[in-house]
Amino acid sequence: MKHKEPILPVCEHEEHHHGAQEKSIKKIPKESVIYELTDFFKILGDSTRMHILFALDGAPLCVCDLAELLGMTKSAVSHQLKILRQSDLVTYRKVGKNVFYSLADDHVGSIIETALAHVEE
């Protein structure tokens, strides 16, 4: 038996609320920024990258640590770190022969923590 999707309520007559529209239009970024945001959320739309971001939210880690923690190969982790680095979501620092990755800034941690709080509601 097919389950029908509920019908969403819609306005029963045409009435424009220009005051509300004016407030809303001010909140919509320029088209180029919308595209950047879309690309940003595409990067976050990968479960492996989300695992890495949450792991790095706790402390800086090297590729070996991340690979062990996530049960992945170093090559697979490195590939995802490259994408995150190119997107300015993670940064790294060299300490001797070790390379430690961390979140690029506090905004990244805030974004993933806020998203987590939203889905856990």
In a domain, 43, yes or no: yes
In a domain, 13, yes or no: no
In a domain, 18, yes or no: no
- The two three-digit tokens of residue 54, written as one number: 């949450």
52 exposure class (CB count in 10 Å sphere: 0-12, 13-18, 19+) = buried
- The two three-digit tokens of residue 48, written as one number: 């492996």
| CATH code at position 69 | 1.10.10.10
pLDDT in tens, 59-71: 999 999 999 999 9
43 exposure class (CB count in 10 Å sphere: 0-12, 13-18, 19+) = middle
In a domain, 21, yes or no: no
* pLDDT, position 26: 87
In a domain, 38, yes or no: yes
* pLDDT, position 5: 72
pLDDT in tens, 21-80: 888 888 999 999 999 999 999 999 999 999 999 999 999 999 999 999 999 999 999 999
Number of structural domains in the chain? 1
Q: Which domain holds residue 58?
A: 31-120
pLDDT in tens, 96-108: 999 999 999 999 9
In a domain, 113, yes or no: yes
